[in-house]
Amino acid sequence: MSSGNHSLQNPFASPDPVLEPSRFYGHRADIQRIYTRIGASRPQSISIVGERKIGKSSLLNMLSNQETKSQFLPEPNKYIFGHLRLRERNDWKPDEFLRSLTDTMRNTHPDLPDGANYDEFRSMIQHLDAEHISIITFFDDFDVITQDPGFPLTFFSFLRSIANTFNVAYITSSSEPLQRLCVSKDLKESPFFNIFTNITLKPLAENEVRQWIIEGSNPSGISLSSESEWVYSQVGGFPDMVRILCGLLWERKKSIGKLNSTDLQETEVTFQEYAKDSLEHIWSLLNEKEQAVCAQLLTGNDLERSQMHLVRELVRRGYVNEADGNYSLFGKSFERFVSDKTGLEIPTEQAQKKHWWKFGK
């Protein structure tokens, strides 16, 4: 590559959540499913559950975007959206929460009255409901609130009452089901959580990853289309790891031009160090039996029928791939990590061709 490329911007450099719909890839089925519930005759509350850096914040940004709203709702003007990113501050109080939520709703409806306490907020919602306007609120990292002792049970009872009485729905994100992330037993056992339908956010599918890589890199002048299949084989559909690996590939391709197998191997080594914390985090989320299943998938030892529930859970969370009853770890980067962690050897290249394992009898 010529020195003139030094001014090019790496399209995979930013770790921040996606804000623009044009830069968001995947989860179309999730968006459709959620909007079907938002647009129901009575809006329904949704709890989006997904592990760290799986794309929850980006998804909420897309869901609450006015362009998405107009695309999926036949009468978008009959909906008012509010959106709070709760991890951005650590001094929330109930009144401040309601005031800030009202302020975000004013972004599109500046004439809304105050909603700085329970009575004012209920009065505002009641007024909008009388005009047949639905209120959809998006709460990113809602567990910040459920784990805060400054938010009493009465606050959540108030939210539940609002949703049950008026056309109001809450779309939340959290790393685990909300009931597991409560500061008190009373809150955990409260009926507040009964209003939610849970949706688990999974990694991106292969076609979604490849679309992201191709459409994300081509405008930069340094295309990674020929490396997109290799990227997916390394990291599967985990967005943060896709971003890191593509960022490394893009920089290398910018410096030397076309990449050969040696360049890819060297990038693998560099990436493994960059992704160490992410892979360690995944491993820490697995219990001993789940870790043992990963080790068996690495080496090719037969799985027992009694392990089926463990495998299904790993598939659900995206750590294991399944195709036609066959199972494998989600990517070669995770295989290398499991190998280092357990001291087990990765199968040879010849054995790797058979590296999809069925259950034993």
Dihedral, CA of residue 180, residue 134, residue 201 and residue 219, to nearest 10: -140
Class of domain 27-200 as given by CATH: alpha beta
Does the pTM surpass 0.75? The reply is yes
Q: What secondary structure does DSSP assign to 198-266, as a single string?
A: EEEPPPPPHHHHHHHHHHHHGGGT---GGGHHHHHHHHTT-HHHHHHHHHHHHHHHHHHSS--HHHHHH
Measured between alpha carbons, how far is 264 from 201 in angstroms, rounded to an integer?
30
Query: pLDDT tens digits for 1-20?
Result: 333 455 689 999 988 899 88
Beta bridge mates, 170? 137
Q: Which residues in the chain are classed under CATH 3.40.50.300?
A: 27-200
What's the gap between Cα 39 and its chain centre? 22
**pLDDT by 10-residue block (mean), the chain, 361 residues:** 60 89 91 96 95 92 95 95 93 94 90 88 93 96 93 95 97 89 84 92 94 95 96 95 96 93 95 94 94 92 88 91 87 95 77 46 42
Residues of each domain in the chain carrying CATH 1.10.10: 278-352
Fold classification of 278-352 (topology level): Arc Repressor Mutant, subunit A (1.10.10)
Radius of gyration of the chain (CA): 23
